[in-house]
Structure 1
Amino acid sequence: MGNKLRYSFETYAVSGARKGDKSTGAISYPLYLSATFKHNGLNESTGYDYSRLQNPTREEAEKTIALLENGKEALAFSCGMAALTACVHLFKSGDHVILSEDLYGGTFRLFDEVYSVYNIEASFIDTSDINKVKDAIRSNTRGIIIETPSNPLMRVTDIKAISDICKAKNIISIVDNTFLTPYYQRPLELGADIVVHSGTKYLGGHNDVLAGFAISNNEEIIEKLRFMQKSTGAILSPFDSWLLLRGVKTLHIRMDRIQENAIKIAKWLECNKNVEKVYYVGLNNHKGYEVNKEQSSGFGGMISFRVKDKKYVENLLSNLKVISFAESLGGVETLITYPFTQTHSEMPEEIKRKLGIDEYLIRLSIGIENIDDLINDLKSVLE
């Protein structure tokens, strides 16, 4: 476990790890653009030498995210995939890794195409079924990577159950917490070894920064990840670190408004005659509803749904006025995405169809706009 927090999540989100700059009194933590730092003499470092190794603004972003996830340390990367790539370097040739089968297409590509040539084996299974996880474990299994809720079908995996399995068998557990953020879910408190984020999404929150994080309480893992961070150089820039810090200040406010909108939209979609199925963990008929309530304090703002007729897909993607047709998620703007040709385009078609990621599936990332405007926008193309 991380340190016991003295203040609330909201207070740390607003104040950051250092409550501004101690030397100047600046409330907004300064943007340090220097690539290198002056030494006062031989073996006399200020603690900062070269910004690939550490930068004061990036350090503040890392310490703030570590506080919010209740972890010992966080490491900030240039994007979410860079953070996950650093985690993959914890494994070696001949190791086997289990992953959620319903997960971001870029993660699938990383294991299926990039690291497979280094003989890191990957099995993609339904991790919401704990028995399937147990059955998939081999003698060389060294890691289990889950998304919960998953992307795009919102499957919920029991984090504590996975963590307990991993601890019993000396396997590293990695949880992608991008969808719910540390405001609603803190996997380290449930026993996970590592939490990863695409900070581009809700943490930044304004579709203006690329960022990634890996957070842990395990000192050995932290040292290995920091070594990979400085060695590969996929670090978060000072300016992007500053943008991330600014975005995090309103994370709790944004998430509450996003969730409020999402619940109303999910219920509206459920009642629409042209919608076949709605996937949202905040609906009490969702398969993972109870598990999510047990391990999280909220449901987030991600919704997927299936239309009954493909004609509504083009209508949705072409004629919405308030909602934008765009990749990504987690910003203040509501976005609509077509996983079949966008986020999961590089998954083999037979796997996509097996999972139900087909021409009928639509994904929504709910924003903070006026709820009536959002529903009326959907109504204009679905009725």
Structure 2
Amino acid sequence: MSEPIARERNTVPRPYGSIAVIGAGAWGTALAAVARRAGREVRLWGRNEEDIATIAKTGCNLRYLPGVQLPEGIAASCDMEAVLKGAEAVLIVTPSVTLRDICRQMAPYLAADAPVVLCAKGIETGSGKLLSEVAGEELPGHHFGALSGPTFASETVRNFPTAVTLAFPFAQAHRREPQAAPASRMALSLGSASFRPYISDDLVGVEVAGAVKNVVAIACGMMTGAGYAENTRAALITWGIDEMKALAEMLGGRRETIAGLSGVGDLTLTCSSTTSRNMSFGVQLGRGIDRQNVFNGNKVVVEGEVNAISVIDLADRIGLEMPVCRAVYDILHGGAELRDTFAALWSRPLTGENRILNFALQHPSGS
């Protein structure tokens, strides 16, 4: 990425000294390690007492990141009040479906001026609301942002070079003095030699990208599991990017945001490796494994499975066609047959590739 020349400002940026991380799964633990390596005071909250006790005693999250020694100084606790007390900023890293409940638990203890960074990806089922809207209803008066990008927790926690997008809306005052903006201060709070945040003011675009990419990753996994290869996956990724752009734009985001780390970057990673739970989930389904037997029958949160419902619900509300996401929804939640559904995706009317060429032709297959 090209780097703009920094302009002189009067404001001296100051990182947040104390960061609370809510959610002790793989990604939450990895982000706690990131913040600690960046020199912050870090407290990590989780609901599983056994896991938290292990982290506190051994410095390892044996359930989610076995074999990885965390940086010293991360205080782990199941006490929400203790974790949030004195926190200057908060990262919420719990599954998207739990966000509203987590925010309600946080409300009595969260400092009035603490910014909140949402690190899960999704759209609320039923309401069609972005996660920042959900959090805003439960925690009014706070600045809300999102952290997203091509990140596998197992690599980030091992201090492999990683780049992300960190998005907050910018008030007019922040445009005059961008160093004072929550996004800038949070980037300084997490940035290190191996963790590089890029600052964005397009919260909507970043949130939409995160929600849609999980669904597209399942599509890529399904086709891979069904025996198709790189041509097919490249087409699905390209179509997925277009669906991200269209949804972001209709919700007030910017299409160019999708070209960045939170869009193309994250989608490329997630659709290219079974390290991604969404991709792995799709691969297993594509191989004909029954839903109840995926991941050997273990209960694993697959964000894209839920996101397929919320994304399509939102698309229907605003009148947007999203063929790839629709195909995944139909297979997962409508009982559609996998190969027939994807065959229909390829047999849609032939159209121009860009908006200027606005026409459609009957597909030669006759569909």
TM-score (norm 1): 0.35
Q: Which has the higher helix share?
A: 2
Report which structure shows greater RCO (CA 8 Å, sep ≥6).
Answer: 1
